[in-house]
């Protein structure tokens, strides 16, 4: 049985047996892949899966139509599973309301509950950073701070503030985003370099210790801003300075809000 | 529309010398929202305050900025004045143009410019201030006293006599602490037991005191006025309700050779025991480590003879949670273990004893009935060497501090020895004699002049035992500059006073800070000597620093007065500077709950009218919140704000500065 046939079979079975009320997967429309929400077992034939399925489906768990259909089964790659674990640790989803149709590489790993999914990714290395991104990270690290700031200002200047990055991100779930607050106005909403820099940097900071490098924001960005470079930059700091990898276990203490006596404190002078 | 009044103080010459206050007042008058601006020589004086009050009424002010000293100095003064004039006190802010400006600058033009900026910033803040109401928290009028030594007893009695309930927790079988072990007390040589035991009995019989012996504090939660304390009632194996203290059990107990802690190892006790004949409660407990029944499973002699069937070998630790409004820590001290001193025999020489062992030898109720007999062969020592500063003031041993009580008790020991052994010679080695206190120096002089103690200034290099049993004490007389060798029969070491081994663990349970040696830290070394930095937790006795009995008692009474003042009102007002959650906006990501250092934030379930949970949001406990703002910093959706320091206010302050620097 091929990967997609196995997913369809498991999805149909879960729906038939009433284990879940909804299956979240991908469908095909022309040459694009879109999310698909299925509630009837006879709809599973519409499910597809291939390398073009870039959306990180946990993003949809906070949508009203999905929240009212819990428990759900959800097609997830390892980054998606990490996103689920972040959402569970932040009380956004109940761990027992999710079944994972887990895919690792090109291999389907069956229906897992969140604990089993956490165990599955425990032994996997974190998502590899693309070689060109890794090379750029080293280059940035070697730059003086002022040059680095200038680099980011220039790189983020073309942003049109469409917020597709936010819409595609599984952990950008705030109902009212900080950028929409106006008493006081924390981030300028005009698509101008100053506000663009502030918005993208604030968003990246809000993802520290939460971003799983799923790449959805990068894929969604119409301006092709180097968002994965920014995310990877922060992910590297978090991992190297605090030995923390986002979404690496169930009930793991959050990155911000937990500490250990062994934390690096050399920045305190 | 805001109507702000600005009041600039000269502070005599303190501010006016470097800041052109008239220019500041003129500049402030032109700021948006300011309707009144004046300067005055001493704004905190009575006429100065009257100026503020009159202006509030006359100009219908909705906000006030006093540009003067630090808010730590006079914020409460001016806020009180504002309240008297009918303005909500939290609509008044201080702009610090003294410490932050005039005192630290020399150039008058620049300092004036900065003062104008500081005033502008505060005007912008005040325009956005909201009227706040003090938070009223209820106070549970029961005190917990931890430790039943003289300090704990005094604090408990004072609070109880003030009409409030007290729970006294003592980890040993009996209250009394170290003082109950002493023979006589300096500087009056009155019998320690005679002045101590009536207090102990009073505690036990006081209607306002609940005594919990053989108990320890397990955990503490809550806050000022509302602490929840879990107390571990350790397994005693004796039902205190049934036991009459008749003594049949300990007379029958076959495990008789256990060194008595109360007697500092000079005497022995049984496995079921009362620490001393004067114990309160005078009822035994079983030492599980040494009980034959509890270790080997057979014996039970005590249970067989007990006429009241009070003994239960199946007893286990129980936990009891009590609600208290204040906590007094009176956990006392211990003596340093001198076995670290190899040159004094490393604790292996039987006739080298510590101060408490000497107290028990000299005590009429001690194992020798008050006869001075040395431990090795029970003969009367004819030469006794007392060595002061054993560990104290010794940086190498990690105790650079003076233990304070040793000079006095060593003089007392020398005196008691002279009174009991008439042909004996006491030799005291000292570094300095520190006898500051009422009647203290006279007391030391008496030991030397009337009772013939020989005081030698110098340190001891070695104490060793000769084959005939004599202890050879070698040292230096630093005044004469000669080496000294003394053949002694017994050596008494004045071991350093150190913190209890587990004092740090207890401090951590309460959040109380402690110094490098494990002594609890007071909130201010001079002005708040009995409070800790944790509101509602007070200190009494040697758990804070080495102390003699009068000092410990004074501090205990001081703590008791603090507790009684706290309990004098059923409700307590506190500053309303706390975090506030915008429930409409909260996404319940729990970042604030995870981060709050005071555990003041918890889940709040919002239910519909049928009781179904609709949403869960974060909720701040007004009593616990200390207004630190950590939650505000971690909230990604900006759903938490700090009353009195809202984002809106802080941004307006920054914007006021930014608009000027362009």
Mean pLDDT of chain B: 93
Nearest CB to A174; choose among B587, B647, B651:
B587
- B461 and B364: one domain? yes
Q: How many other C-beta atoms are found inside a 10 Å radius of the C-beta of residue B42? A: 15
Q: What does the pLDDT average to over B124-153?
A: 94
The CATH number of whichever domain residue B590 belongs to comes to 3.30.70.20
- B485 and B343: one domain? yes
Last residue of a domain, one of A89, A122, A155: A122
Q: Quick check: B623 and B225 in contact, CB under 8 A?
A: yes
Last residue of a domain, one of A72, A89, A122: A122
End-to-end CA gap in chain B: 27
Q: Please indicate, yes or no, if residue B650 is contained in any of the structural domains.
A: no
- A13 and A113: one domain? yes
A206 in B contact zone (CB under 8 Å): yes
Last residue of a domain, one of A98, A122, A146: A122
Q: What does the pLDDT average to over A134-145?
A: 92
* pLDDT tens digits, B595-610: 888 888 999 999 999 9
- B182 and B307: one domain? yes
Confidence band for B218, pLDDT divided at 50, 70 and 90: very high
**Residue (of B564, B561, B542) closest to B551 by Cα position:** B542
- B155 and B303: one domain? yes
How far off is chain A from B652, nearest CA to CA, in Å?
A: 8
Find the residue in A nearest to B638 (Cα).
A178
Confidence band for A130, pLDDT divided at 50, 70 and 90: confident
CA B608, B612, B616, B618 dihedral sign is positive
**Residue (of B141, B234, B283, B137) closest to B626 by Cα position:** B137
For residue B28, is pLDDT > 60?
yes
Q: What does the pLDDT average to over B497-517?
A: 93
pLDDT at A242 (0 to 100): 84
Q: Please indicate, yes or no, if residue A41 is contained in any of the structural domains.
A: yes
- B317 and B346: one domain? no
Q: Please indicate, yes or no, if residue A224 is contained in any of the structural domains.
A: yes
Find the residue in B nearest to A203 (Cα).
B636
Q: What does the pLDDT average to over B268-292?
A: 94
Contacts of A175 in chain B (CB under 8 A): 585, 587, 637
Portion of chain A with pLDDT greater than 70, in percent: 99
How far off is chain A from B375, nearest CA to CA, in Å?
A: 48
- B126 and B181: one domain? no
Q: Please indicate, yes or no, if residue B100 is contained in any of the structural domains.
A: yes
pLDDT at A16 (0 to 100): 92
- A112 and A173: one domain? no
CB contact under 8 A, B591 and A183: no
For residue B640, is pLDDT > 80?
yes
- B371 and B476: one domain? yes
Portion of chain B with pLDDT greater than 70, in percent: 100
For residue B232, is pLDDT > 90?
yes
Q: Report the DSSP beta bridge partners of residue B620.
A: B601
How far off is chain B from A63, nearest CA to CA, in Å?
A: 13
As a whole number of angstroms, the distance between CA B29 and CA B9 comes to 15
As a whole number of angstroms, the distance between CA B391 and CA A138 comes to 56
DSSP B472-510: EEEEEETTTTEEEEEEESEEEEEEPEEE-TTHHHHHHHH
Start-end of H helices in B343-485? 355-362, 406-420, 440-449
Contacts of B587 in chain A (CB under 8 A): 92, 173-175
ipTM over 0.85: yes
Q: Please indicate, yes or no, if residue A265 is contained in any of the structural domains.
A: no
Residue B515 vs residues B333, B405, B519: alpha-carbon distances, Å: 14, 20, 6
Q: Please indicate, yes or no, if residue B431 is contained in any of the structural domains.
A: yes
- A18 and A66: one domain? yes
pLDDT at B524 (0 to 100): 86
Confidence band for A258, pLDDT divided at 50, 70 and 90: confident
Start-end of H helices in B95-149? 108-127
- A8 and A71: one domain? yes
**Residue (of A80, A27, A76, A75) closest to A52 by Cα position:** A27
Q: Please indicate, yes or no, if residue A260 is contained in any of the structural domains.
A: no
Q: Please indicate, yes or no, if residue A257 is contained in any of the structural domains.
A: no
Q: Chain B window 560-599: which residues touch A at a Cβ cutoff of 8 Å?
A: 585, 587-591, 594-595
Q: Please indicate, yes or no, if residue A66 is contained in any of the structural domains.
A: yes
- A11 and A71: one domain? yes
For residue B388, is pLDDT > 60?
yes
The count of CB pairs under 8 A between chains A and B is: 48
Q: Please indicate, yes or no, if residue B512 is contained in any of the structural domains.
A: no
Q: Please indicate, yes or no, if residue B524 is contained in any of the structural domains.
A: no
Q: Please indicate, yes or no, if residue B245 is contained in any of the structural domains.
A: yes
As a whole number of angstroms, the distance between CA B28 and CA B66 comes to 11
- B400 and B486: one domain? yes
Pick the range with the lowest mean pLDDT from A87-96, A242-251, B351-360, B411-420: A242-251
3-state secondary structure B318-350: EEEEEEECEEEECCCEEECCHHHCHHHCCCCCC
For residue A232, is pLDDT > 60?
yes
Q: Please indicate, yes or no, if residue A161 is contained in any of the structural domains.
A: yes
CB contact under 8 A, A91 and B588: yes
Q: What does the pLDDT average to over A110-116?
A: 91
Nearest CB to B636; choose among A178, A183, A185:
A178
- B110 and B205: one domain? no
CB contact under 8 A, A184 and B590: no
pLDDT at B511 (0 to 100): 87
- B414 and B454: one domain? yes
How far off is chain B from A47, nearest CA to CA, in Å?
A: 32
pLDDT at A122 (0 to 100): 85
- A51 and A110: one domain? yes
Contacts of A178 in chain B (CB under 8 A): 636-638
Number of domains making up chain A: 2
- B175 and B285: one domain? yes
CB contact under 8 A, B595 and A178: no
- A142 and A58: one domain? no
Query: Environment class of residue A233 by beta-carbon count within 10 Å: exposed (0-12), middle (13-18) or buried (19+)?
Result: buried
- A109 and A138: one domain? no
Radius of gyration of chain A (CA): 19
Contacts of A206 in chain B (CB under 8 A): 636
Angle formed at CA A136 by CA A131 and CA A137, multiple of 5 degrees:
95
* pLDDT tens digits, B605-627: 999 999 999 899 999 988 788 89
Instruction: Tell me how long chain A is.
Output: 269
pLDDT at B660 (0 to 100): 67
CA B503 vs. chain centroid, Å, equals 11
CB contact under 8 A, B652 and A178: no
CA dihedral A128, A133, A138, A144 (to 10 degrees): -140
pLDDT at B598 (0 to 100): 80
Helix (H) / strand (E) element for B6: namely strand B4-9
- A108 and A138: one domain? no
Nearest CB to B636; choose among A174, A184, A253:
A174
B454 contacts: CB under 8 Å, gap ≥ 6 = B425, B426, B427, B428
* pLDDT tens digits, B338-382: 888 888 887 789 999 999 999 999 999 899 999 999 999 999 999
- A209 and A113: one domain? no
**A63-79 burial by CB neighbour count: b if 16+ within 10 A, else e?**
eeebeebebbbbbbbbb
CB-side exposure of B220: number of CA atoms within 13 Å? 27
* pLDDT tens digits, A48-65: 998 889 999 999 998 888
Tell me which residue has tokens 């694009």: A32
- B537 and B608: one domain? no
For residue B662, is pLDDT > 60?
no
Find the residue in A nearest to B634 (Cα).
A256
Task: Kindly give the pairing relationship between strand B4-9 and strand B34-40.
Answer: parallel
Residue B8 vs residues B29, B41, B109, B408: alpha-carbon distances, Å: 11, 9, 17, 56
The CATH number of whichever domain residue B313 belongs to comes to 3.50.50.60
Q: What does the pLDDT average to over B139-150?
A: 96
A14: containing domain: 3-122
Q: What does the pLDDT average to over A139-164?
A: 94
- A13 and A92: one domain? yes
pLDDT at A219 (0 to 100): 93
Q: How many other C-beta atoms are found inside a 10 Å radius of the C-beta of residue B493? A: 29
* pLDDT tens digits, A165-183: 999 999 999 989 999 888 8
Q: Please indicate, yes or no, if residue A267 is contained in any of the structural domains.
A: no
pLDDT at B661 (0 to 100): 56
As a whole number of angstroms, the distance between CA A10 and CA B522 comes to 65
Q: Please indicate, yes or no, if residue B435 is contained in any of the structural domains.
A: yes
CB contact under 8 A, A178 and B647: no
Contacts of A92 in chain B (CB under 8 A): 587-589
As a whole number of angstroms, the distance between CA A37 and CA A43 comes to 10
B258: containing domain: 142-333+529-567
Number of domains making up chain B: 4
For residue B178, is pLDDT > 90?
yes
As a whole number of angstroms, the distance between CA B640 and CA B579 comes to 6
Is the peptide bond between B567 and the residue preceding it cis, with omega within 30 degrees of 0?
no
Mean pLDDT of chain A: 90
pLDDT at A131 (0 to 100): 87
B640 in A contact zone (CB under 8 Å): no
Q: Can you read off the two tokens belonging to residue B391?
A: 């560990």
Last residue of a domain, one of B98, B115, B134: B134
Nearest CB to B637; choose among A92, A174, A183:
A174
The CATH number of whichever domain residue B29 belongs to comes to 3.40.50
A183 in B contact zone (CB under 8 Å): yes
How far off is chain B from A181, nearest CA to CA, in Å?
A: 8
CB contact under 8 A, A175 and B587: yes
């Amino acid at each position: 049985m091929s990967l997609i046939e196995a997913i369809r079979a498991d999805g149909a079975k879960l729906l038939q047996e009433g284990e879940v009320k909804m299956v979240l997967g991908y469908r095909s429309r022309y040459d694009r892949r879109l999310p698909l929400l299925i509630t009837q077992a006879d709809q599973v034939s519409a499910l597809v899966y291939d390398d073009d399925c870039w959306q990180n489906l946990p993003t949809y768990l906070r949508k009203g139509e999905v929240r009212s259909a819990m428990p759900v089964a959800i097609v997830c790659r390892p980054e998606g599973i990490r996103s689920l674990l972040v959402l569970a640790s932040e009380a956004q989803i109940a761990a027992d309301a999710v079944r994972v149709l887990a895919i690792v590489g090109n291999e389907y790993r069956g229906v897992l509950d969140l604990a089993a999914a956490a165990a599955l990714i425990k032994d996997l290395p974190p998502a590899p950073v693309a070689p060109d991104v890794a090379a750029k990270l080293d280059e940035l690290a070697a730059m003086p701070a002022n040059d680095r700031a200038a680099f980011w200002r220039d790189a983020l200047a073309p942003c049109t503030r469409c917020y597709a990055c936010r819409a595609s991100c599984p952990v950008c779930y705030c109902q009212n985003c900080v950028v929409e607050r106006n008493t006081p106005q924390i981030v300028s909403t005009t698509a101008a370099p100053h506000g663009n820099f502030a918005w993208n940097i604030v968003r990246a900071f809000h993802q520290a210790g939460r971003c799983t490098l799923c790449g959805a924001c990068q894929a969604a960005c119409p301006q092709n801003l180097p968002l994965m470079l920014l995310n990877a930059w922060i992910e590297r700091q978090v991992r190297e300075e605090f030995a923390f990898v986002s979404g690496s276990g169930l009930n793991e203490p959050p990155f911000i809000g937990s500490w250990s006596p062994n934390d690096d404190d050399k920045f305190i002078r | 529309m805001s109507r702000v009044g600005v009041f600039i103080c000269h502070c005599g010459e303190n501010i006016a010398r470097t800041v052109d206050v008239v220019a500041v007042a003129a500049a402030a008058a032109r700021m948006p929202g300011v309707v009144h601006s004046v300067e005055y020589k001493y704004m905190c004086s009575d006429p100065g305050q009257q100026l503020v009050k009159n202006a509030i009424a006359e100009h219908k002010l909705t906000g006030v900025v006093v540009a003067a000293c630090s808010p730590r100095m006079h914020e409460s003064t001016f806020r009180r004045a504002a309240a008297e004039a009918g303005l909500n006190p939290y609509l008044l802010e201080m702009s610090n143009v003294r410490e932050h400006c005039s005192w630290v600058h020399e150039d008058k033009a620049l300092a004036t410019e900065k003062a104008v900026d500081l005033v502008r910033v505060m005007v912008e803040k005040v325009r956005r201030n909201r009227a706040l109401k003090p938070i009223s928290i209820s106070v549970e009028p029961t005190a917990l006293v931890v430790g039943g030594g003289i300090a704990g007893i005094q604090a408990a009695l004072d609070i109880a006599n003030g009409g409030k309930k007290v729970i006294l927790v003592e980890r040993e079988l009996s209250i009394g602490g170290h003082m109950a072990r002493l023979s006589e007390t300096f500087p009056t040589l009155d019998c320690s037991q005679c002045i101590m035991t009536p207090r102990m009995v009073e505690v036990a019989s006081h209607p306002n005191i609940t005594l919990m012996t053989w108990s320890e504090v397990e955990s503490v939660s809550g806050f000022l006025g509302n602490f929840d304390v879990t107390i571990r009632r350790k397994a005693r194996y004796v039902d205190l309700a049934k036991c009459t203290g008749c003594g049949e059990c300990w007379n029958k107990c076959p495990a008789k050779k256990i060194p008595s802690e109360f007697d500092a190892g000079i005497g022995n006790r049984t496995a079921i025991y009362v620490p001393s004949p004067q114990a309160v409660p005078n009822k035994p407990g079983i030492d599980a480590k040494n009980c034959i029944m509890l270790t080997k499973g057979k014996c039970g002699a005590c249970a067989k003879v007990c006429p009241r069937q009070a003994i239960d070998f199946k007893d286990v630790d129980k936990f009891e949670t009590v609600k208290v409004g204040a906590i007094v820590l009176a956990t006392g001290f211990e003596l340093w273990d001198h076995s670290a001193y190899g040159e004094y025999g490393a604790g292996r020489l039987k006739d080298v004893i510590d101060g408490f062992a000497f107290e028990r030898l000299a005590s009429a109720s001690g194992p020798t009935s008050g006869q001075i007999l040395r431990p090795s062969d029970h003969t009367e020592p004819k030469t006794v060497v007392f060595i002061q500063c054993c560990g104290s003031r010794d940086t190498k041993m990690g105790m650079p501090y003076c233990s304070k009580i040793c000079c006095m008790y060593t003089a007392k020991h020398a005196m008691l020895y002279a009174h009991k052994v008439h042909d004996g010679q006491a030799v005291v080695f000292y570094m300095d004699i520190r006898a500051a206190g009422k009647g203290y120096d006279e007391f030391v002089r008496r030991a030397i002049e009337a009772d013939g103690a020989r005081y030698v200034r110098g340190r001891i290099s070695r104490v060793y035992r000769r084959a005939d049993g004599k202890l050879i004490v070698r040292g230096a007389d630093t005044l004469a500059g000669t080496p000294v060798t003394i053949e002694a029969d017994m050596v008494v070491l004045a071991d350093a006073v150190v913190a209890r081994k587990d004092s740090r663990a207890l401090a951590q349970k309460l959040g109380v800070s402690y110094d490098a040696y494990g002594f609890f830290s007071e909130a201010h070394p001079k002005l708040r000597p009995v409070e800790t930095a944790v509101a509602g937790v007070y200190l009494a006795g040697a758990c804070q620093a080495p102390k003699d009995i009068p000092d410990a008692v004074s501090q205990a009474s001081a703590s008791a007065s603090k507790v009684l003042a706290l309990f004098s009102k059923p409700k307590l007002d506190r500053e309303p500077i706390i975090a506030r959650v915008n429930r409409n906006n909260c996404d319940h990501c729990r970042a604030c709950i995870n981060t709050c250092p005071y555990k003041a934030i918890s889940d709040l379930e919002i239910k519909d009218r049928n009781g179904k949970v609709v949403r869960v949001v974060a909720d701040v406990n007004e009593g616990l919140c200390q207004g630190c703002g950590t939650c505000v910093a971690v909230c990604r959706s900006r759903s938490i704000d700090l009353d009195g320091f809202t984002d809106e206010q802080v941004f307006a302050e920054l914007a006021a500065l930014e608009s000027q620097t362009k």
